[in-house]
A and B are shown apart, each in its own frame.
Chain A
């Protein structure tokens, strides 16, 4: 589904990603771990299409399509969705406007008509209930005045409504209390299916107790230096990154 090959990215002439390879197949959940500043958010931002990153080498394919040739919104409509590490506030734009405009844009791209109002209402109410968000959040401006945990739940709510093929979740667990973590994890797990894939960026094993990954990768200094199954995350939790670094240098 997603194939990243030999990806080199620079920001303001500073090399951040230095030959990164990653393959995610449909039905899989991958976790990316790694020290601060390794390039995890950069990877997801480049896949989502944020400006300011220069791809100097390498390719990103999503279902065989060249992602780097696609506009930001085309990527989303194709089913590639990024949940932000730091979701921004958008004053004046109601959550419900965003959800409806986004969903209809996606439907239009698939050649479907606009979603009928009753169906949309049923959908958003159901999904906000699933995220244990009061319907009043739908009327509020996107993330404005939301607590850190509410912002993260709101990101997942968008995922549940938009049902991406590949959800990239950047530190969706940061700032969550124990209950919120369960709610978010349950939301993410409900997205799991044979046709979909999930890419989780996280620092903590805790999230992976709730969302069991098929593959765990360690991203250090712009490269994936080690990959393994869920046991690798446990090992990292116990031993830190030092040993992985030493191993990869050797």
Chain B
């Protein structure tokens, strides 16, 4: 049996009848996946990322969504939010908090939308992330039966973050999940969306998520992807964004966990005044592998993109950054900036970085830069001469490196999680939040 066949046979294990529009999609996804097979390193897009660990795996589908309540509290972000929880790809209503949604806000699990035979959802779903995008979107399309459908009516300003929490359990038999996220943001609405991937430390599952986010005219969305999967989890994600006139998208792609991680971020800037900010940070240790592929398509004049990705790599970890900006022939007066900086904390860590600017218009402002380096040993020395021990000095400097991206993070619960992880090897006494609080207090006084 080929790898695609082995994966697809699990489709038979799914229960329930699909409405015909869903069934047709599944078939299309399965057929495409079967034809494409898993990518190999001969594919340009997968040159540095070997997915054999996924292809050679045998993953079941979860049959329930139980999760230990105490562990849940330790894993989730401590924020006041509208929360939708999936456990190994299955909806857990008990852990979710979807009561009291304000007018104009709809958040529902995909299963409910399918059950209600929501063709309205069907129309938008898959429009940005077609089965041809990659074998993984095809695979997702074949399997997706759970996820989050978020719809925001025009003019809605959502008072709390929308928190999509995807938990991965330590199962006897590893499982795969193919969540699907769809956000339809109406004109001029404002919202913060968090996709948070986390789980039990011993989890070793395969998550293959596809998100589609549509911003109508003037919509403003902050999107956080916080990936803290276990160190044995395999994680593939693609996030597709389409932006209308004068809309603004802030992406925070923060990756700390996972054994093998691939993120694709694709934005279509389709009308004048559309603006996107890509902020990325990853921190990998051991033998972790994180691959970020980003693409901004400037399809209209007077559009703006700014990208700042930072990577911190320790031990024998491997990182990939491939940032592509495409400017169409008639997209004049656009601005596109890109920066990628990497910090290697060990000699054996490795980073492959490739900025790509493809520009067919002539009246554009573009820049890009990529740097890779180590901690400044003179700075380590200077801190130590003040009595700060070496691990603490290195942690302070590592945090400082991440600082430029972290300063943009407006959700303190997210910032603190990431900063703690980045400073994670610190002695217990390292009290970052205390430092930050003191700094704030001094400023106020």
Residues of A that sit less than 8 Å from B by CB: 48-51, 71-73, 75-77, 81-82, 84, 87-88, 90-94, 96-98, 100-102, 104-106, 108-109, 114, 117, 120-121, 124-125, 135, 138-139, 141-142, 158, 162
Contact = CB atoms under 8 A, between A and B. Distances in A.
A217 to B, nearest CB: 23
A115 B432 CA distance: 15
Contacts of A76: 384-387
Interface of B: 376, 378-379, 381-390, 392, 396-397, 399-401, 403-404, 429, 431, 434-435, 437-439, 441-443, 445
A90 to B, nearest CB: 5
A92 B388 CA distance: 16
Contacts of A75: 385
A165 to B, nearest CB: 12
Given A88-B378, A88-B379, A77 B387 contact: yes
Contacts of B386: 76, 81, 98, 101-102, 105, 158, 162
Chain B interface SS verdict (over half): helix
Given A82-B385, A88-B379, A158-B386, A105 B437 contact: no
Contacts of A125: 442, 445
A120 B385 CA distance: 20
Contact of A97 (B396, B443, B445): B396
Contacts of B384: 49, 71-73, 76
A96 B385 CA distance: 16
Contacts of A121: 438, 441-442, 445
B385 A81 contact: yes
A15 B379 CA distance: 26
5 contacts: A76-B384, A76-B387, A91-B400, A101-B386, A135-B445
A72 B381 contact: yes
B430 to A, nearest CB: 8
B396 A101 contact: yes
A98 B379 contact: no
A117 B387 contact: no
Contact of B388 (A81, A101, A117, A138): A101
A90 B379 contact: yes
A117 B438 contact: yes
- 5 residue pairs, one from A and one from B, having the closest CB atoms: A92-B400, A76-B387, A102-B386, A72-B384, A105-B387
Nearest to B402: A92
A50 B382 CA distance: 9
Q: Which of A72, A91, A158 has the most CB of B within 10 A?
A: A72
B434 A117 contact: yes
A131 to B, nearest CB: 15
Contacts of A81: 385-386
B435 A97 contact: yes
A92 B397 contact: yes
Nearest to B379: A90
Contacts of A90: 376, 379, 382-383, 397, 400
Contacts of B392: 101, 105
A100 B400 contact: no
B437 A117 contact: yes
B136 to A, nearest CB: 36
Contacts of B401: 92
B442 A102 contact: no
Contact of B439 (A84, A104, A114, A139): A139
Nearest to B403: A92
Contacts of A105: 386-389, 392
Q: Which of B378, B403, B439 has the most CB of A within 10 A?
A: B439
Given A82-B385, A114-B434, A135-B442, 19 more contacts: A73-B389, A77-B387, A90-B397, A92-B397, A92-B401, A96-B435, A97-B435, A98-B388, A101-B435, A105-B387, A105-B388, A117-B434, A117-B438, A117-B441, A124-B442, A139-B442, A141-B400, A142-B382, A158-B386
Nearest to B381: A50
Nearest to A108: B429
B109 to A, nearest CB: 41
Q: Which of B385, B386, B399 has the most CB of A within 10 A?
A: B386
Contacts of A106: 387
Nearest to A101: B388
Contacts of A120: 438
A93 to B, nearest CB: 5
